[in-house]
Amino acid sequence: MTQYYDVVERQRLINEATDWAEKVKVIHAHSLDSMYYDNRPEDTADGKGVTDVEYNSGVIVRHQNGEVIHTFGTKLTGDALLDSYTRYN
């Protein structure tokens, strides 16, 4: 049975990392056009406000007036997700 330990442990980590990736990392309500990930300055032009929700998966979802208007980044998967999860946990 111990020959499967590494496989089982990796799957356990994948399951934990997948759950962790869906959790919110940061919520930022602002009207700035200078965020490092922001390539849409028109969203905050003329002082309009937005709320950016960053998830542990690396994705940032931008909301304005209660609606999702854009998604930044790409969702971490596979080894990249495991690396990020083990780095922070």
Domain layout of the chain by residue ranges: 2-88
Question: What pLDDT score does 3 carry?
Answer: 82
Instruction: List, in order, residues 6 or more apart from 82 with CB less than 8 Å away.
Output: 13, 14, 17
57 with 75: CB under 8 angstroms? yes
Strand ranges (E), the chain: 24-30, 50-55, 60-64, 67-72
> Going by C-beta distance under 8 Å and a sequence separation of 6 or more, which residues neighbour residue 35?
28, 52
Query: Which pLDDT score is estimated for 59?
Result: 97
* pLDDT single digits (tens) 1-55: 678 899 999 999 999 999 999 999 999 999 998 889 999 999 999 999 999 999 9
The answer to whether the predicted template modeling score (pTM) of the entire model surpasses 0.85 is yes
Q: What is the pLDDT of residue 72?
A: 97
